[in-house]
Amino acid sequence: MAAQFTPRVFSGIKPSGGLTLGNYLGAIKRWVAMQGPEFETVYCVVDLHAITVWQDPADLRASTHEVAAALLASGIDPKTSILFNQSQVSVHAELGWIFNCIARVGWMNRMTQFKDKAGKNAEKVSLGLYAYPSLMAADILAYHATHVPVGEDQKQHVELTRDIAAKFNHDYKVDFFPLTEPVIEGPATRVMNLRDGTKKMSKSGESDMERINMLDDADTIAKKFRKARTDPDPLPGELEGLKDRPEARNLVDIYAGLSDQSPEAVLAEFAGAGWGRFKPALAELAVAKLAPISEEMRRLMADPGELDALLGKGAEKAEAISRPILQQVHDIVGFVRSRS
């Protein structure tokens, strides 16, 4: 009989710079929605992933606090969800090593995010950046997580996690790891760059004008949307009319994500409107949604000691789930465990 797994959600965000509207709509907002009786929820600030590219230590600490504050301010409840930073639970790195020995180099070579991030510089990037997806598999499988809410950009990594779980189960003739489901839902699973609608909005993108940061003030948000690249045509009444208009489609998707509507409903409301009408409405909506969150983030970030205490408590809870799973992995693999 196939093993039964507790319905459990795991997901993480890298503290690699200021959080963007992409992180909010693609991940955070949906993490909040998944809290409830259906799932146990485990959310992680994945600092081990952040250092796959250089991070100044003081900036890394500040970004870790910013991500924790953003999650709390957006509605992650530490009484309901486990919230911690990855490096405080060494199980992740230990299981990551074992998965480095399960994953195949050929699988890693197919990862498009590595190709995008390494670009022409593949010889010079860190080995950690290359191995990142196997650490991500460890993050997920250390909790026997059954569901992983992510943005579209992480789909391939969750698929690789399933491949690693299946190969481990097959090689060791066990039914030990679940085949985790990616949960990629909603209208804003891939929020695009405001200056180039074919590129993803990223924390580490070159220009600040290409992204909305969760901590941007109202004037900055309005200015960034006003200057966002668009085309001369008005908004159509149907989605079909946004084909081959990536920048226009992106702004409609952002509006839909922020207002919890479908893109079709947004177009029904704005059919025929020009950018002079749509962009200010979008900016107003974004400010209405983000301003209370950023205000609460600033309040929480003013007391990093409190955030650290909370992350520490979360790490203890995370360790209580993941350490016994790792110990079973050691037994399956054949490692001697003789420490008292």
Between 111 and 329, whose beta carbon lies closer to ligand AQP? 111
Between 8 and 329, whose beta carbon lies closer to ligand AQP? 8
User: CB of residue 149 vs ligand AQP: minimum separation in angstroms?
Assistant: 7
In degrees and rounded to multiples of 5, residue 214 shows phi and psi of -60, -25
Between 14 and 195, whose beta carbon lies closer to ligand AQP? 14
In degrees and rounded to multiples of 5, residue 148 shows phi and psi of -130, 105
User: CB of residue 85 vs ligand AQP: minimum separation in angstroms?
Assistant: 13
User: CB of residue 188 vs ligand AQP: minimum separation in angstroms?
Assistant: 6
**Do 212 and 293 form a contact (C-beta atoms < 8 A)?**
no
Between 144 and 200, whose beta carbon lies closer to ligand AQP? 200
User: CB of residue 49 vs ligand AQP: minimum separation in angstroms?
Assistant: 6
The identity of residue 258, as a single letter, is: L
Between 30 and 168, whose beta carbon lies closer to ligand AQP? 30
Catalytic site positions: 117, 200, 203
**Do 290 and 221 form a contact (C-beta atoms < 8 A)?**
yes
Between 214 and 307, whose beta carbon lies closer to ligand AQP? 214
Helices (H), the chain: 21-23, 29-33, 47-50, 57-74, 91-100, 105-109, 112-118, 127-141, 155-171, 218-227, 246-259, 263-270, 275-301, 304-333
User: What residue number has its CB nearest to ligand AQP?
Assistant: 26
| Residue whose pair of structure tokens reads 């405080």 in the numeric block | 88
DSSP string spanning 175-222? --S--PEEE--STTSSPBPSS-TTSB--TT-S-GGGS-BTT--HHHHH
Between 189 and 230, whose beta carbon lies closer to ligand AQP? 189
Residue numbers at the binding site for ligand AQP (CB under 6 A):
13-14, 16-17, 20, 22-23, 26-27, 150-151, 153-154, 189-191, 200-204
Question: Of 31, 43, 28, whose CA–CA distance to 82 is shortest?
Answer: 43
Distance in angstroms (rounded) separating the CA atoms of residues 187 and 264: 10
How far, CA to CA in Å, does 279 sit from each of 25, 170, 190, 289, 294? 18, 53, 19, 15, 21
Say which residues have a Cβ less than 8 Å from residue 194's Cβ, sequence separation at least 6.
Answer: 201, 209, 210, 211, 212, 224, 225, 227, 228, 229, 247, 250
258 CB-contact burial (10 Å; exposed 0-12 / middle 13-18 / buried 19+):
buried
